[in-house]
């Protein structure tokens, strides 16, 4: 089985505007993530906000098994039509990994159904300890009971997400807060993972444990079958009975109105 093909999306603004961020990520956060996933053997593409269609054309998505999303200050600049397109791919089977400030992105809000922008935050360079709650989860493979991020932006509860299907990691912050830092959900046939670490002013995506989690998550989120967007619509045709149906005395009424969205 060949490895999942990944597309890394980044709004790519901080890196162009701040020397301090560019010093950490000279080719952008997406460049850093691309590099360690390529080294792990994946086919990796990148896409950024200012490209036509934000770089997320049908052609790009056709060759994407797992999409990674990083955004922060420009969530509102992402076109609703592209968000809808990405969402349709997710529910058809494409994996989605949302990183850090992507919690407030349109695509994450859409798959969650809650105002996921809401959480506590504080930028003070404090340390975070990430704890593994489900050591047997594929996304925790190779990780120990905990690891430390020396400097991180604080994200604290209550994080306004639906209860995750699986809670994999919890985060502890110096100033007294906790966070559900690694969470999974299924949406349609697609798997979604949110991972909290990753502020742009700290070299977090260079840290070995963080890269391990993202590599694990890519393998976990990959679709197990070929993605076939739109094929689920077949269920809208009236279903013939699986077993013989007695004569109910009713005229079967079928397909009078379109139930499709």
Of residues 66-105, those binding a second copy (CB under 8 A): 72-73, 75, 91, 93, 101, 104
Q: Which of 39, 62, 123, 228 binds a second copy (CB under 8 A)?
A: 123
Per-residue mark of binding to a second copy, 156-195 (x: CB under 8 A)? xxx-x-xx-xxx--xxxxxxxxx-x----xxxxxxx----
In angstroms, the CA 31 to CA 227 distance is 26
Which string of DSSP letters, residue by residue, matches 61-84?
HHT-SEEEEE-SS-GGGS-HHHHH
User: Residue 28 class from Cβ within 10 Å (0-12 exposed, 13-18 middle, 19+ buried)?
Assistant: buried
Q: At what angle do helices 208-221 and 28-39 cross, to 10 degrees?
A: 70
Structure tokens that stand for 182 in this block: 């690694």
Q: Are strands 6-10 and 44-48 parallel, antiparallel or unpaired?
A: parallel
Cβ closest to a second copy, residue 46 vs residue 101: 101
* Least Å from the CB of residue 163 to a second copy: 6
Shortest distance in whole angstroms from residue 54 CB to a second copy: 18
Nearer to a second copy, 26 or 138 (CB): 138
Residues in region 16-45 near a second copy by CB under 8 A: none
Where in 230-259 is the site for a second copy (CB under 8 A)? Answer: 232-233, 235-236, 238-243, 245-246, 248-250, 252-254, 257, 259
């Amino acid at each position: 089985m060949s490895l999942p093909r990944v597309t890394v999306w980044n709004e790519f603004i901080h890196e162009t505007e701040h020397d301090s961020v560019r010093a950490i990520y000279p080719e952008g956060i997406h460049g850093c993530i691309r590099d360690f996933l390529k080294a792990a053997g994946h086919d990796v593409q990148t896409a950024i906000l200012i490209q036509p269609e934000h770089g997320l054309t049908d052609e790009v998505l056709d060759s994407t098994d797992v999409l990674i999303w990083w955004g922060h200050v420009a969530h509102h600049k992402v076109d609703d039509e592209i968000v809808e397109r990405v969402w349709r791919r997710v529910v058809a089977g494409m994996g989605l990994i949302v990183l850090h400030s992507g919690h407030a992105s349109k695509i994450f809000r859409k798959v969650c159904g809650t105002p996921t922008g809401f959480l506590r935050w504080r930028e003070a360079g404090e340390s975070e300890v990430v704890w593994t709650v489900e050591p047997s989860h594929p996304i925790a493979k190779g990780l120990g009971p905990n690891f430390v991020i020396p400097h991180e932006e604080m994200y604290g509860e209550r994080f306004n997400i639906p209860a995750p299907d699986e809670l994999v990691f919890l985060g502890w912050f110096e100033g007294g807060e906790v966070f559900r830092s690694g969470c999974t959900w299924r949406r349609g046939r697609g798997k979604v993972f949110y991972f909290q670490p990753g502020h742009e002013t700290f070299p977090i995506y260079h840290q070995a444990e963080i890269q391990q989690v993202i590599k694990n998550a890519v393998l976990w989120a990959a679709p197990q079958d070929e993605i076939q967007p739109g094929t689920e619509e077949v269920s809208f045709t009236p279903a013939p009975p699986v077993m013989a149906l007695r004569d109910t005395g009713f005229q079967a009424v079928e397909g009078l109105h379109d139930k499709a969205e």
